[in-house]
Structure 1
Amino acid sequence: MRRILFVFLFVFSSLSITAQVASTYTISFENAAHHEAVVEADFTNLKEKTVEFRMSRTSPGRYALHEFMKNIYDVKVTDGKGNALKTSRPDPYSWTVSEHDGTIKVKYILFANRGGGTYSQIDDTHAHLNMPATFIYVPELEDKPMEVTFKVREDLNWKVATQLKHVEGHTYYAKNLQYFMDSPTEVSHFSKRSFQVNGQTIHFVLHHNGTEAELDEYFSRVKKIVLEEEQVYGELPKFDYGEYTFLVCYIPNASGDGMEHRNSTIVTNTRSLADGGMDSNLGTVAHEFFHCWNVERIRPDALEPFNFEETNMSGELWFAEGFTSYYTNLTLCRAGLMSEEKYVKSITGTFNYVWNSPARQFFNPIEMSYQAPFVDAARSVDPVNRDNTFISYYSYGNMLGLALDLSLRQNGLNLDDYMKLVWKKYGKQEKPYTVEDLHNTLNEYAGETFGSHFFKNYIYKSGMPDMKMLLNSVGVSLTQNLDKPDFGGPVNDEGFISKNTIIGTAAYNAGLEEGDKILKVIGTDFTSSNDFNALINSLKPNDIITIEYERFGLPKQTKVTLLPNTTYSLNLFEINNQKLSVKQKAARKAWLGSKQK
Structure 2
Amino acid sequence: MPATRTHEPAAVHYRVEPADVHAHIFRITLTIAHPQAQQEVSLPVWIPGSYLVREFSKNLQNLQATQGRRRSPVTQLDKHRWLIACSPDKPLVLTYGVCAYDTSVRTAWLDASRGFFNGTSLCLRVEGSQQHAHSIEIARTEATAQWSVATGMDGLAIDKQGFGLYGAPDYEALVDCPFELGNFWTGRFTAGGVSHRFVVAGAAPSFDGKRLLADTQKICETAMAFWHGGGKPPFRSYVFMLNAVGDGYGGLEHRNSTALICGRRDLPRTGEARASEGYTTLLGLISHEYFHTWNVKRLRPAEFASLDFARENYTELLWFFEGFTSYYDDLLLRRAGLIDDATYLKLVTKTINQVLQTPGRHVQTVAQASFDAWVKYYRQDENTPNTTVSYYTKGSLVALCLDMALRSEGKTTLDDVMCALWQRCPNGLMGEDDLRTVLRELGGRAFDTELDQWVHGTAELPLAELLGKNGVRLKPETAQLAQRLGIRVQENHSIQIKTVLRGGAAEKAGMAAGDEWLGVECGGSAWRVGKLDDIAFYSGSATSVTAIVARDGRILRLTLDMLATGKPASKARKAPRIEPAGPDTVSLSVSDAAAVARWLGQPARP
Q: TM-score range by the shorter chain?
A: 0.7 to 0.9
Q: Percent identity, aligned pairs only?
A: 25
**In the alignment, does 2:77 pair up with 1:83?**
no
**In the alignment, does 2:252 pair up with 1:259?**
yes
> How much does 1:544 deviate?
4.3
1:246 equivalent in structure 2: 240
Q: Distance in 2 between matches of 1:290 and 1:397?
A: 15
1:4 equivalent in structure 2: none
- Given the superposition, is the C-alpha separation of residues 298 and 591 from structure 1 closer, same or farther in structure 2, using an over 3 Å criterion? same
**In the alignment, does 2:232 pair up with 1:232?**
no
Q: Distance in 1 between matches of 2:173 and 2:231?
A: 17
Kindly indicate whether the alpha-carbon contact (under 8 Å) linking 1:208 and 1:251 is maintained by their aligned counterparts in 2.
Answer: yes
SS state of the match for residue 252, structure 2? strand
Which residues of 2 match residues 409-448 of structure 1 at below 5 A? 409-412=407-410, 413-426=412-425, 429-448=426-445
2:520 equivalent in structure 1: 520
SS state of the match for residue 66, structure 1? coil
> How much does 1:39 deviate?
0.8
CA RMSD of aligned residues (A): 2.9
Kindly indicate whether the alpha-carbon contact (under 8 Å) linking 1:334 and 1:594 is maintained by their aligned counterparts in 2.
Answer: yes
Which residues of 2 match residues 451-462 of structure 1 at below 5 A? 451-462=447-458
Q: Distance in 1 between matches of 2:488 and 2:52?
A: 29
Residue 457 of structure 2 aligns to which amino acid in structure 1?
K
Deviation digits for residues 223-271 of structure 1, max 9, x if unmatched?
110111223223489666622222223255x953211111111112242
2:363 equivalent in structure 1: 362
Deviation digits for residues 394-432 of structure 1, max 9, x if unmatched?
111111122221222111232111111111112xx1331
SS state of the match for residue 22, structure 2? helix
- Given the superposition, is the C-alpha separation of residues 474 and 283 from structure 1 closer, same or farther in structure 2, using an over 3 Å criterion? same
Q: Distance in 1 between matches of 2:120 and 2:459?
A: 39
1:373 equivalent in structure 2: 374
Moved more, 197-206 or 408-417: 197-206
Kindly indicate whether the alpha-carbon contact (under 8 Å) linking 1:358 and 1:503 is maintained by their aligned counterparts in 2.
Answer: yes
> How much does 1:531 deviate?
4.7
Kindly indicate whether the alpha-carbon contact (under 8 Å) linking 1:258 and 1:268 is maintained by their aligned counterparts in 2.
Answer: yes
**In the alignment, does 2:536 pair up with 1:534?**
yes
**In the alignment, does 2:142 pair up with 1:146?**
no
Residue 15 of structure 2 aligns to which amino acid in structure 1?
T
Aligned residues: 564
> How much does 1:189 deviate?
2.9
Deviation digits for residues 421-477 of structure 1, max 9, x if unmatched?
111112xx133112222222222221334x112112111212233322322334433
- Given the superposition, is the C-alpha separation of residues 508 and 303 from structure 1 closer, same or farther in structure 2, using an over 3 Å criterion? same
Q: Distance in 2 between matches of 1:478 and 1:237?
A: 38
2:505 equivalent in structure 1: 506
2:103 equivalent in structure 1: 115
Q: Distance in 2 between matches of 1:467 and 1:588?
A: 15
Q: Distance in 1 between matches of 2:152 and 2:109?
A: 18
> How much does 1:27 deviate?
1.1
1:326 equivalent in structure 2: 327
Q: Distance in 1 between matches of 2:194 and 2:359?
A: 47
**In the alignment, does 2:187 pair up with 1:193?**
yes
1:179 equivalent in structure 2: 173
Q: Distance in 1 between matches of 2:147 and 2:216?
A: 24
Deviation digits for residues 182-225 of structure 1, max 9, x if unmatched?
11112233344333444433332333445698212210000110
SS state of the match for residue 388, structure 1? helix
- Given the superposition, is the C-alpha separation of residues 248 and 559 from structure 1 closer, same or farther in structure 2, using an over 3 Å criterion? closer
> How much does 1:482 deviate?
5.7
Q: Distance in 1 between matches of 2:555 and 2:156?
A: 70
SS state of the match for residue 91, structure 1? coil
**In the alignment, does 2:589 pair up with 1:572?**
yes
Moved more, 104-113 or 511-520: 511-520
Q: Distance in 1 between matches of 2:263 and 2:525?
A: 44
Kindly indicate whether the alpha-carbon contact (under 8 Å) linking 2:478 and 2:585 is maintained by their aligned counterparts in 1.
Answer: no
> How much does 1:344 deviate?
1.2
2:469 equivalent in structure 1: 473
Equivalent of 1:100, from 87, 91, 94? 87
SS state of the match for residue 200, structure 2? strand
Residue 386 of structure 2 aligns to which amino acid in structure 1?
N
SS state of the match for residue 128, structure 2? helix
Moved more, 587-596 or 488-497: 488-497
- Given the superposition, is the C-alpha separation of residues 350 and 67 from structure 1 closer, same or farther in structure 2, using an over 3 Å criterion? same
1:585 equivalent in structure 2: 593
Q: Distance in 2 between matches of 1:407 and 1:55?
A: 46
> How much does 1:517 deviate?
4.7
SS state of the match for residue 201, structure 1? strand
More helix by share: 1
SS state of the match for residue 131, structure 2? coil
Moved more, 488-497 or 465-474: 488-497
Q: Distance in 2 between matches of 1:484 and 1:116?
A: 32
Q: Distance in 2 between matches of 1:167 and 1:195?
A: 23
Q: Distance in 1 between matches of 2:240 and 2:496?
A: 42
Deviation digits for residues 14-68 of structure 1, max 9, x if unmatched?
23xx2xx211111112422332221111112123x31111221111211111111
Q: Distance in 2 between matches of 1:30 and 1:65?
A: 27
- Given the superposition, is the C-alpha separation of residues 153 and 551 from structure 1 closer, same or farther in structure 2, using an over 3 Å criterion? closer
Unaligned residue ranges in structure 1 (runs of 5+): 1-6, 574-579
> How much does 1:375 deviate?
4.2
Moved more, 278-287 or 328-337: 278-287
> How much does 1:545 deviate?
4.3
- Given the superposition, is the C-alpha separation of residues 237 and 516 from structure 1 closer, same or farther in structure 2, using an over 3 Å criterion? farther
Equivalent of 2:209, from 206, 212, 215? 215
2:49 equivalent in structure 1: 61
Kindly indicate whether the alpha-carbon contact (under 8 Å) linking 1:484 and 1:537 is maintained by their aligned counterparts in 2.
Answer: no
SS state of the match for residue 243, structure 2? strand
- Given the superposition, is the C-alpha separation of residues 34 and 586 from structure 1 closer, same or farther in structure 2, using an over 3 Å criterion? same
Moved more, 92-101 or 193-202: 193-202
Equivalent of 1:33, from 9, 16, 22? 22
Residue 442 of structure 2 aligns to which amino acid in structure 1?
Y
SS state of the match for residue 249, structure 1? strand
Deviation digits for residues 332-368 of structure 1, max 9, x if unmatched?
1221212221221122232122124221222111001
Residue 195 of structure 2 aligns to which amino acid in structure 1?
T
Q: Distance in 1 between matches of 2:155 and 2:368?
A: 42
2:262 equivalent in structure 1: 269
Q: Distance in 1 between matches of 2:480 and 2:185?
A: 52
Q: Distance in 2 between matches of 1:62 and 1:559?
A: 40
1:562 equivalent in structure 2: 564
Kindly indicate whether the alpha-carbon contact (under 8 Å) linking 2:549 and 2:556 is maintained by their aligned counterparts in 1.
Answer: yes
Q: Distance in 1 between matches of 2:231 and 2:363?
A: 38
Residue 425 of structure 1 aligns to which amino acid in structure 2?
R
Residue 435 of structure 1 aligns to which amino acid in structure 2?
E
Q: Distance in 2 between matches of 1:596 and 1:555?
A: 59
SS state of the match for residue 289, structure 1? helix
Kindly indicate whether the alpha-carbon contact (under 8 Å) linking 1:222 and 1:282 is maintained by their aligned counterparts in 2.
Answer: yes
Moved more, 275-284 or 95-104: 275-284
Equivalent of 1:164, from 142, 153, 156? 153
TM-score scaled by length of structure 2: 0.85
Kindly indicate whether the alpha-carbon contact (under 8 Å) linking 2:382 and 2:500 is maintained by their aligned counterparts in 1.
Answer: no
Kindly indicate whether the alpha-carbon contact (under 8 Å) linking 1:65 and 1:310 is maintained by their aligned counterparts in 2.
Answer: yes
- Given the superposition, is the C-alpha separation of residues 94 and 469 from structure 1 closer, same or farther in structure 2, using an over 3 Å criterion? same
Q: Distance in 2 between matches of 1:425 and 1:398?
A: 22
- Given the superposition, is the C-alpha separation of residues 466 and 183 from structure 1 closer, same or farther in structure 2, using an over 3 Å criterion? same
SS state of the match for residue 465, structure 1? coil
Kindly indicate whether the alpha-carbon contact (under 8 Å) linking 2:416 and 2:604 is maintained by their aligned counterparts in 1.
Answer: no
Q: Distance in 2 between matches of 1:474 and 1:537?
A: 43
2:33 equivalent in structure 1: 44
- Given the superposition, is the C-alpha separation of residues 153 and 281 from structure 1 closer, same or farther in structure 2, using an over 3 Å criterion? farther
> How much does 1:278 deviate?
4.8
Q: Distance in 2 between matches of 1:234 and 1:306?
A: 27
